[in-house]
Structure 1
């Protein structure tokens, strides 16, 4: 190991990202599905933004929230996947200390933002189903903008301590990160000091942001189901519940890998590290890829506009 990796230093000038430790020989093969998923995520989310922008009939609260989700997915995946692919393809493993902390901030900030937007979309479904006659008066453009701003501010502020906590620790053991990105826990584990406060803050962030969002989503759907079960016919119940399927699929695509990754990183001491890194990559790649597919296939307005777009191109 080089001297730069063993010399005492408070803030290293660079970190070395290993990609997926133990699977270096398979990096090229692993990069193929990862690259395909990233391309699908970028094209899918840009398509959503384009369709909503071009079609005035889609200028409503649900589609504004969908655009916010698309932008969040684009930023979160683009802040990590290109660097990961450069590691796999070109062995470009170095990342400066400042760039590492910036990437850390973007990962956690936009992950929290994604969760907040899904909570806002749950509120949209609640108003649409429980108070349909007041939908346009409750969810005005002004209210949607305020909700979006609140989600952005909450995510930006609650994520600020991550890079500041990581900067304060001395890194005197090594500057090699056995990961493809600068996740908070992956970085602070290199510190030669008691970083318990960083770990506890990460758990607080998980419970207070994601936990709170899931609580309000659960409350919203409890009230939604109560209204649905009061509808007179089975057809009406299924049709109304069908308007929530896209949102429920988006929730599962985000929260299942997110919780599994967070909990295994903190408590899965006997879990192989390469498995933890693979789970983290799934957490970063799968939701941005699935969200545009889910909404493109399940939402009638989006599906109709997509068909019109491709039909127009063919003619």
Structure 2
């Protein structure tokens, strides 16, 4: 947009990212079901870990933190998209849009940093198994978690500090919710400079955390080569969960953010599809991966199902006796 355009006073934004969608209700139902499943699964994960003192260990504290990040991440934009698609509410207030933008990008960054910290946890657990509990205590994990949250909140201050002072020439968002690119495109300035600055920050966060995770895996693989076959199977089992979560998070992120900055042209629909997948995919996959791959959580879940089945069986016998007596 040209800086010569007349600026307007924006009190709310109109979300226009779904205007060309042929089947909005079907897409809305899919997003709604995925969102509810993701939030429910992550909340169950958190409750399992909090309620069981045996799970108050560094690894489970990190899983709990990942679940909190997933809930925040998917809740930053999913309700807005569901409201547009299913309820026809396609407006959002200026302040709510800025908050959504900050929370969404904070969730994106936190997802990367939490996976990096979890890679460190797996590295220490495999390379230094006997010193693990002395290196990573609950207190140190909590302090490290606080530092990660603080650093990412500091990074996210750039976006509102950049967007708020700029004059707006439009109140219509091209995308499906308020992210930095959508808000900047409504301003009267050339967005390229701001996109480049944001891309540098995103590249730094993604590249730093991705390289850290890769180095951790390289160290683990070198150690695994020297181990016995039984130890290799155990180590591989502990890494699979984290590897799945990392792949689901980084693949759409690299395609959407990094590749597009090097000339790969994506249509608006493709970009928005990747963006929605990048939000909902990890938040849905992560809790189910740890349900299925973490022995303690899986055992606790099976015990709950077993108790529920026993209660139902007892209730059925009671009702049967009542009916027979009657």
User: In the alignment, which residue of structure 2 is the partner of 1:3?
Assistant: none
* Residue ranges of structure 2 left out of the alignment (5+ in a row): 311-326
Partners of 1:122 and 1:217 within 8 A in 2: yes
Distance in 1 (alpha carbons) for counterparts of 2:259 and 2:211: 22
SS where residue 180 of structure 1 aligns? coil
What CA distance in whole angstroms lies between the structure 2 residues aligned with 1:60 and 1:200?
41
From 280, 285, 308, give the equivalent of 1:290: 285
Cα distance change on mapping 1:11 and 1:200 into 2, 3 Å: farther
1:108 aligns with 2:105: yes
1:246 aligns with 2:249: no
Deviation of the 1:194 alpha carbon: 2.2
Q: Which of 128, 134, 138 pairs up with 1:137?
A: 134
Give per-residue Cα distances to partners, 1:63-93, cap 9 Å, x unaligned: 0000000001101111111111010011111
Matched, 1:98 2:98: no
Partner of 1:16: 14
TM-score, normalised via structure 1 length: 0.93
Once the two structures are superposed, residues 244-274 of structure 1 have per-residue CA deviations (whole angstroms, 9 ceiling, x without a partner) of 1000101011111112222365456743212
Aligned length: 306
Q: Does the 8 A contact of 2:49 with 2:60 survive in 1?
A: yes
User: Residues 68 and 11 of structure 1: is their aligned pair in 2 closer, same or farther, counting only changes over 3 Å?
Assistant: farther
Aligned pair in 2 of structure 1 residues 16, 181: CA closer, same or farther (>3 Å)? Answer: same
Q: 1:48 aligns with which of 27, 45, 48?
A: 45
SS at match of 2:14: strand
Contact 2:203-2:258 within 8 A present in 1 as well:
no
* CA deviations over 1:177-211 (Å, ceiling 9, x no partner): 12221111122122221233321221121122121
d(CA) in 1 for partners of 2:174 and 2:137?
47
Q: Which segments of structure 1 move beyond 3 Å, counting only runs of 4 or more?
A: 263-270
Matched position secondary structure for 1:194: coil
**Rg: which structure is higher?**
2
The residue aligned with 1:149 is 146
What do residues 37-74 of structure 1 show as CA deviations (whole Å, max 9, x unaligned)? 11110110011011111211111001000000000110
Give the aligned CA root-mean-square deviation in angstroms. Answer: 1.6
The alignment's TM-score, normalised by the length of structure 2, stands at 0.90
Measure, in 2, the Cα distance between the counterparts of 1:249 and 1:237. 18
Deviation at 1:8, TM superposition (A): 3.2
1:166, 1:187 within 8 Å by CA — same for their partners in 2? Answer: yes
